[in-house]
Structure 1
Amino acid sequence: MDSDAGQWSHLPKDLLAKIAGRLDTRIDFLHFRGVCSSWMSSVSPTFPRKNPILSLKLPYPIASNANLNICDPDTRNPHGSFSLIESTLYYLQPLRQTPDSKEALLVKLEEPKPGKGRLMDTLSRCAIQHLPKNFPKVLNTLNFRVREVGKAYGLRFFDVRGKPITSFEFKSILIKKVIMFSKGDEYGLMMIHIRGRLALWRLGEEKWSLIDDGAEKSHFDDVIYYKGRFYAIDYKGRIVVIDADSLKATELASPVHGSRGTHKHFVESFGELFLVDKYLDDELQIFCNDYSDIVADVPDYPVHFEVFKFIEEEQKWDWVSDIGDRVLFVGDDRTFSLSSTDFPGFKGNCVYFTQDCFCEEDDDRPGFDAGIFDLEERIAGPLSAFPGYSKIFWPPPAWLRPQRS
């Protein structure tokens, strides 16, 4: 064993550099550097960003009459610019744990500069402003188990005028949703503006392309890149499929029966596509009328979810009452899915979401307005209503903090 380890530690530095260059995540890169001193010295301590869009100033996503935007599409706006902001979700566990332990923490970190992280709310775009004194200044990944869950993106406007942005100007630059996609060496972004319009931009293009979905007036709730195509859904439940190359939009022939909630989210889960429909207050009665054969009474809580699964072969959506050990997360800037079997600490067959009615006085912490909808029990509530699953976002556990010698 020792001789084998010695041989690995003496690999040529140019070969080690090539191996490190093929690593896709920061965690893999840090684990690579932690193998031995020779591996650590073979590469820079800073993870090389592979996303070429992160370092660019992006064109304005929309055109409006706001002062921040330009009337002449051939003139560069002098008042500021947009940049793509990337956040990474990490799943943390203590190094030592029993097989049935559920100790874990899910955190979201934004990295404005290499090596400098900022803690974000796990399911929203909000930054955490006031961390407790005992929160570690440096997260040493050698002190706990780390898995990268995924990334979230947003477009941030940087004003160079030094003047406040008016509410009219603010609406013109507000982006509802951004997703990044890549196809070979091609990178691009698809976004939903606050007005509900879809637009796409590819690396190297000078402007965004508005998507013509064939409707006189559309207001989209969500969009996802799934198997080489974009799927977008509006607030009425109408779904269009957009080809990434031609940008041609085709409406799905089969609408989502019963999808009449307040907001709709796409979630990709283990290669399958799901739609999560959110109902609030009066809309619950609409759902119960549609599914009177399975729902006896209107639920006695302010929020309700229904889940539909996309049957790709038949191009239709089926209502599902059970998703097994899957956990679906519907946040402001990203949706994702995990297995409660592979990621202990989460409640399976549930939807994790955000809702204002769950906010508490101490609202400057990750998961401050998070809740769980249990598909089996058909109940929703704040994290505190689910003992054993309420600490997945906060507070920071003792094992996260460095031990005093």
Structure 2
Amino acid sequence: MKTTINNPDWSTLPDHLLAMIGKLLHARVEALRFRAVCHSFRTSLPLLQPSTLNIPDPFDSNNQLSLTRSTVYAIEPLHEISSTPLETSTWFVKVSELSSGSVRVEDIFYRFTDQNLSEMLPKSLNLLDYRLKEITTAYGLLQYPIFQKIVVSLDEFEIMTLFSGGKLGVYRKGDEEWTYIDFSVDGIFFEDIVYHMEKFYVLGSKGLTITVDSKSLDISQVAAPVPTANGFNKYLIKSLEDLFFVDKSEFDNCLEKGGSKSYPIHLNVLKLDEEKREWIRVTNSLDLKDSVVL
């Protein structure tokens, strides 16, 4: 290949620079693009395979569980982005990596549309023709529906699980069994968990929020309950360096259309102020920084 200023020969980059670049690629799609450049790029960054780590079953000591990972991507055709940026088609898909090495593609809006996802997507995806953006990643443990939610710290491979009924468990790589978190406060049960800024955050009913140190299992309260948090569903949402508390409730007035009834949804959004140790209601859309919550 003839090398010019406008057309450099990237394949000649030294190995130590390729290794430094590879360490900065956290999203799987970024690693795939990097490896697709040429042979030297591909050999400098091994492609991580789905986890085969054996995790003990919390209910059966003779059984092992498999960790699954699902990633939501936004897919946009590059030719539409360049020609009609305001009318660009965007597909949101969830890709689950299976232990066999294959993947399963799902429509994250399948509950709200009658159209089959396979009818909307192209037969194949060439990453040179499409822009893929990783939106979020979620984890799961197969076999039991009792796992309400699972969050993972990949640095030390630590797992926190919210069981149905509000029970909390932690598994750390090398442990022989799960450790359960006891936080005994009258009338408080766990509603959601998230891994944010290298800490596990746990949301209790009424907005009481704690952090759990995965190594010492020490518990610290970071926000007091919110008296007005009376919704039927509560969520922790991380966005960049901020953490939000979404309290979801229904309006009392019923809407009728075409013989069917529906109840409008109200979302009360609060932002965590750890210095003040409280949730602050979001009244300015600028606080959300153009975020979209899925």
Q: TM-score, normalised by structure 1?
A: 0.59
**1:199 corresponds to:** 169
Query: Residue 221 of structure 1 aligns to a residue in which SS?
Result: strand
Query: Residue 32 of structure 2 aligns to a residue in which SS?
Result: helix
Query: Residue 30 of structure 2 aligns to a residue in which SS?
Result: helix
Distance 2:16 2:223 in 1: 52
Q: How does 1:94-133 map to 2 (within 5 A)?
A: 94-96=77-79, 97=81, 98-113=84-99, 116-122=102-108, 131-132=117-118
Whose strand fraction is larger, Structure 1's or Structure 2's? 2
Is 1:89 the equivalent of 2:72? Answer: yes
Q: Given the alignment, which residue of 143, 146, 149 partners 1:174?
A: 146
Residue deviations 1:353-379 (CA, integer Å, cap 9, x gap): xxxxxxxxxxxxxxxxxxxxxxxxxxx
Distance 2:244 2:96 in 1: 27
Is 1:55 the equivalent of 2:52? Answer: yes
TM-aligned CA deviation for residue 48 of structure 1: 2.0
Is 1:143 the equivalent of 2:129? Answer: yes
Residue deviations 1:256-297 (CA, integer Å, cap 9, x gap): 231111111011112111100011355x9xxxxxxxxxxxxx
**2:36 corresponds to:** 34
Q: How does 1:253-332 map to 2 (within 5 A)?
A: 254-281=224-251, 301-324=263-286, 326=288
Is 1:24 the equivalent of 2:10? Answer: no
What amino acid sits opposite 2:47 in the alignment?
F
TM-aligned CA deviation for residue 19 of structure 1: 5.3
**2:257 corresponds to:** none
Residue deviations 1:86-125 (CA, integer Å, cap 9, x gap): 0112121121223444432222101215763211242799
CA RMSD of aligned residues (A): 3.3
TM-aligned CA deviation for residue 312 of structure 1: 1.8
Q: TM-score, normalised by structure 2?
A: 0.79
Q: Which runs of 5+ in 2 are unaligned?
A: 254-261
Kindly tell me: are residues 231 and 269 of structure 1, through their superposed partners in 2, closer, same or farther at Cα, counting changes over 3 Å? same
Residue deviations 1:294-349 (CA, integer Å, cap 9, x gap): xxxxxx943211001111211111111233384xxxxxxxxxxxx64xxxxxxx6x
**1:165 corresponds to:** none
* Contact 2:207–2:223, Cα closer than 8 Å, also in 1: no
Distance 1:234 1:312 in 2: 16
**1:152 corresponds to:** 138
* Contact 1:221–1:235, Cα closer than 8 Å, also in 2: yes
Query: Residue 248 of structure 2 aligns to a residue in which SS?
Result: strand
Distance 2:48 2:274 in 1: 37
Equivalenced residue count is 277
Distance 2:173 2:187 in 1: 28
Between 273-282 and 248-257, report the one with greater CA deviation: 248-257
TM-aligned CA deviation for residue 224 of structure 1: 1.6
Distance 1:41 1:228 in 2: 30
TM-aligned CA deviation for residue 43 of structure 1: 5.9
Distance 1:175 1:124 in 2: 22
* Contact 2:77–2:88, Cα closer than 8 Å, also in 1: no
TM-aligned CA deviation for residue 199 of structure 1: 0.7
What amino acid sits opposite 1:202 in the alignment?
R
Q: Whose RCO is larger (CA < 8 A, sep 6+)?
A: 1
Query: Residue 30 of structure 1 aligns to a residue in which SS?
Result: helix
